[in-house]
Amino acid sequence: SAVISQKPSRDICQRGTSLTIQCQVDSQVTMMFWYRQQPGQSLTLIATANQGSEATYESGFVIDKFPISRPNLTFSTLTVSNMSPEDSSIYLCSVETGKDGYTFGSGTRLTVV
Amino acid sequence: QKEVEQNSGPLSVPEGAIASLNCTYSDRGSQSFFWYRQYSGKSPELIMFIYSNGDKEDGRFTAQLNKASQYVSLLIRDSQPSDSATYLCAVNEWGDDKIIFGKGTRLHILP
């Protein structure tokens, strides 16, 4: 299955600033998915990123707050903009690995102070 | 709104016993079903997937699917303390690339 390198692994940020999270996959994939996992909660899909087109956002998530780039088939970034303490969460990228399901990056633990 | 429901637990099971984790889903169009294990502070890792009604076994793990009842379960035989984790049920609809997760069940294996 695919191997995903995600960074940073954690960060502490001031409110009002932005953080960009990167995911690099060791193989070409059509779609990459970005999830948020708030403390004690399950994973919530933020958006689906296709190469060469705008990301598709789920209800409750908007591009201005979570802009996504997908410049090629192995890389994507998610930016958390104008952060507030409510954005403190773990952010995960994921790719589909055929019949074996979906593989996740190691996650970015974000704390906004 | 597509939903995946799990009992949040914690579910406590003695070491060596069978742990039974359950999941129901709302969308009858769901075709693929996954069980992920997530240790605290780690990302989820896939342990089982199942597409067809019936049982699927992999080592100590057995996934059971009943589409008529919209029910999927995971059995862990000979439970070990290392099985203590949160187990996430996830489903997706045929032709849909995204998967929907349940909130997870915390499993605690008692030594």
The tens digit of pLDDT for each residue in B49-81 reads 998 899 999 999 999 999 999 999 999 999 999
- Chain B residues whose beta carbon lies within 8 Å of the beta carbon of residue A48: 97-98
- Tokens representing A112 are 């906004």
- Chain B residues whose beta carbon lies within 8 Å of the beta carbon of residue A42: 88, 101-104
Q: Does B104 touch chain A (CB under 8 A)?
A: yes
CB A53 within 8 A of CB A47: no
Q: Count CB neighbours of B96 within 10 A.
A: 15
Cross-chain residue pair A33–B34, CB shorter than 8 Å: no
Compute the residue count for chain A.
113
Q: Is the C-alpha dihedral spanning A25, A31, A32, A37 positive or negative?
A: negative
The tens digit of pLDDT for each residue in B16-37 reads 999 999 999 988 888 889 999 9
What's the gap in Å between the CA of B102 and the closest CA on chain A? Answer: 6
pLDDT of B43 higher than 70: yes
Residue owning tokens 């999830």: A35
CB B75 within 8 A of CB B65: no
Cross-chain residue pair B49–A105, CB shorter than 8 Å: no
Cross-chain residue pair B88–A42, CB shorter than 8 Å: yes
Residues 63 to 92 of B: which have CB under 8 A from any A CB? Answer: 88, 90
Selected residue with higher pLDDT from B28 and B46: B46
The tens digit of pLDDT for each residue in A23-53 reads 999 999 989 999 999 988 889 999 999 888 8
Q: What is the mean pLDDT of residues A54-80?
A: 95
